Amino acid sequence: MATKVTFTLSADVVADATEGLLLGEFNNWDQANGISLKKQKDGSLKAIANLEAGRTYQYRYLLSDGRWVNDDKAETFAFAHGFAVENCVITVPVVEPKEVKAKKVAVKKAEPKAAAIADDLTKIEGIGKKINELLAAENIISFKELSKLSAKKLKAILEAAGTKFAMHNPASWPKQAKLAAAGKWDELATLQKELVAGK
């Protein structure tokens, strides 16, 4: 469920900038999809974004004077590997819906869903510890989930994370993940002997 979140950058940080963009994991750090910051009477910049409740996002501000700046009121910060910078971190709270009294209706109890179990994605040729962490940040934690993604989608995730990751070719990852999800380890090993760095 989307929740409206207000981002405000104080006038002290804004300084002489007249406008800016809010960029982060919620828009893949893409300036074309950046959320515009509006100048306020007090000199601050403000933006409202619709973000998914219960998720944690990293973000920063790109100001019109070319500066990348952090939110001085951010909850916490995370080091961006490969970029030597810290990103702001926000966790969007889950808003509990208000209770509405309703008539009791007999309903079959649904089977409880099994909690998602994280697989060791580093067993896929071409995925190391850092890429495993990157995929986990995108909620891709199992072989089954990885097998359903296209190489194009995986490439977009890698490119959004920077040049250090963009050089990797994920073309074979879904096929490898499908074999791993099915427990076909011998077939996976045979396939991996033919691969070099996941290609």
Domain positions in the chain: 2-91, 121-194
Q: At 133, which helix (H) or strand (E)?
A: helix 129-137
- Average pLDDT score over residue span 173-184: 90
- CA 97 vs. chain centroid, Å, equals 25
pLDDT digits (tens, 9 = 90+) for 108-155: 665 555 556 788 888 888 888 998 888 888 899 888 998 999 989 989
- Average pLDDT score over residue span 150-179: 88
Query: Which residues share a beta bridge with 149?
Result: none
Residue 94 has pLDDT above 60, yes or no: yes
pLDDT digits (tens, 9 = 90+) for 27-81: 998 999 999 999 999 999 999 999 998 899 999 999 999 999 998 888 888 887 7
CA-to-CA distance for 28 and 157, rounded, in angstroms? 8
Q: 156-171 burial by CB neighbour count: b if 16+ within 10 A, else e? A: bbbebbeeebeebbbb
Nearest Cα residue to 27 out of 54, 61, 1: 61
Q: Could you tell me the two tokens for 62?
A: 């790109």
Looking at residue 65, what is its pLDDT?
93
Confirm whether pTM is higher than 0.75. no
Looking at residue 117, what is its pLDDT?
78
Looking at residue 126, what is its pLDDT?
87
Instruction: For residue 33, give the DSSP letter.
Output: G
Burial of 127 per CB tally in 10 Å (0-12, 13-18, 19+): buried
Q: Is 1.10.150.300 the CATH number for 2-91?
A: no
Residue 191 has pLDDT above 60, yes or no: yes
